Amino acid sequence: MPLTAVAGRVDRTAPFDGGNGLLGQRAWFERIARSVQGCHAMASPSALSDNVDSSVGDRCGACTELLVLGDGSHTWPGTSVGNEGLNPGEFDLNRRIVADMLAPDPGCLSSR
């Protein structure tokens, strides 16, 4: 099964660079990718847009990717209203999930 995580650079609950007793999001995801999907490494981030980066795992069991939203906070991205007044950002995660569900083979959300 594909594995996608979404992290926000302006998230104060789970800070992107770590804090509040948590690892940084990239370090955390690399550990998950290795243990769950058998990835050997994570590729350097590549831009999906001016505000979104994607890092894809190397030699994983299935597509494994970390999407990093420049304007992402601790709320679901792309909704009309964020949780507790937080900015949901402009990345439309819902559209990408639906596109992946309708595709013949599940894959990376960054390619949808």
| DSSP 8-state symbol, 45 | P
pLDDT tops 70 at residue 85 = no
41-72 per-position pLDDT tens digit: 999 999 998 889 999 999 999 999 999 998 88
Q: How far apart are CA 65 and CA 2, in angstroms?
A: 8
Q: What is the pLDDT of residue 12?
A: 87
The confidence band for 15, taking pLDDT boundaries of 50, 70 and 90, is very high
- The residue ranges of DSSP E strands in 34-101, in sequence order, are 41-42, 46-47, 52-58, 64-69
Alpha helices, DSSP H, located in 1-112: 25-37, 93-102
| pLDDT given at position 58 | 95
Q: Which two tokens stand for residue 3?
A: 């594995």
Average pLDDT, integer, range 7-15: 90
Domain count along the chain = 1
Domain, as residue range, for 71: 3-111
